[in-house]
């Protein structure tokens, strides 16, 4: 896939999946703009010194002003990939209002604001573009969401928003899609679930490959889809 001379924003790009996505984009010639919120993640980010990577500090993506600053600073935006989010575990009986609004802010609101800003920036570039969001398997299969109900609800909102928003902008040449991974094979997930069947989990490089296609010029017809990426899980 050819991303030469194309500018791409990757939120959550310093995480495990984000590192794989940015690496694949760089290998395809992209210029990557990577907002970050946690300084320690940026410091250990594998691609931080690459000449086609721009790290952007202070990336609280639930803040409209921050989001506007990020997207206003990107020349000729082609694609925006939204991996940023947060996870919370616990039964509904022990969840506070702050827990629920925190999940909505981290997962849905950040996606909403970045999609809105990305569509405007792509429109200014006047060449069409792509937006890719990330939900989760449990956002499509709700019975899997026990003890993560606020997280699942926030990701289900992203899935519904993706499909609805795609219809608003498709005639502008902007194709909007999402991927829905199952538990991915990362060091953190292996540590948290040492007895799981790790071989069945999708690898971050595999999920990144699906994201890359949806964000690429080669994707000329798919819009409004939420694509399962479950591996063999």
pTM over 0.85: yes
Please name which of 118, 17, 8 lies closest in space to residue 53, comparing C-alpha atoms: 8
The set of residues, in sequence order, having a beta carbon less than 8 Å from that of 98 and lying 6+ positions away, is none
pLDDT tens-digit profile of 89-105?
A: 999 999 999 999 999 99
Encode pLDDT of 143-154 as tens digits.
999 999 999 999
Say if residue 185's pLDDT is above 90.
no
pLDDT higher than threshold 80 for residue 215: yes
Helix (H) or strand (E) holding 70: helix 64-72
For 61-73, how does the pLDDT look when each residue is reduced to its tens digit (9 = 90+)? 999 999 999 999 9
7-229: CATH, from 3.40.190.150, 3.40.50.720, 3.30.70.260, 3.30.470.30? 3.40.50.720
Q: How far apart are CA 76 and CA 8, in angstroms?
A: 9
- Has residue 49 got a pLDDT over 80? yes
Q: Tell me which residue has tokens 């948290």.
A: 192
Average pLDDT, the chain: 96
Name the nearest CA neighbour of 107 among 139, 79, 147: 139
pLDDT at 114: 98
Annotated domain spans of the chain = 7-229
pLDDT of 232 > 90? The answer is no
Q: Residue 6: its pLDDT value, please?
A: 98
């Amino acid at each position: 896939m050819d991303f030469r001379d194309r500018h791409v924003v990757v939120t959550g790009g310093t995480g495990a999946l984000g590192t794989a996505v940015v690496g694949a984009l760089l290998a395809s010639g992209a210029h990557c703009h990577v907002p970050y919120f946690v300084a320690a993640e940026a410091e250990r980010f594998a691609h931080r010194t690459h000449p086609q990577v721009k790290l952007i500090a202070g990336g609280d993506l639930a803040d409209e002003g921050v989001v506007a600053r990020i997207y206003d600073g990107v020349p000729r935006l082609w694609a925006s990939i939204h991996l940023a989010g947060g996870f919370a575990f616990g039964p509904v009986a022990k969840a506070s209002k702050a827990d629920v609004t925190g999940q909505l802010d981290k997962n849905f609101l950040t996606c909403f604001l970045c999609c809105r800003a990305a569509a405007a920036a792509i429109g200014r570039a006047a060449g069409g573009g792509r937006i890719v969001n990330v939900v989760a398997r449990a956002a499509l299969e709700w019975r899997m969401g026990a003890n993560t109900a606020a997280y699942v609800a926030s990701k289900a909102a992203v899935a519904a928003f993706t499909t609805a928003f795609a219809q608003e902008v498709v005639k502008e040449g902007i194709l909007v899609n999402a991927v829905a991974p199952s538990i991915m094979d990362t060091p953190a997930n292996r540590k948290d679930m040492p007895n799981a069947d790790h071989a069945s989990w999708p690898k971050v490089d595999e999920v990144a490959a699906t994201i890359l296609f949806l964000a690429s010029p080669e994707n000329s017809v798919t819009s409004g889809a939420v694509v399962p990426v479950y591996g063999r899980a």
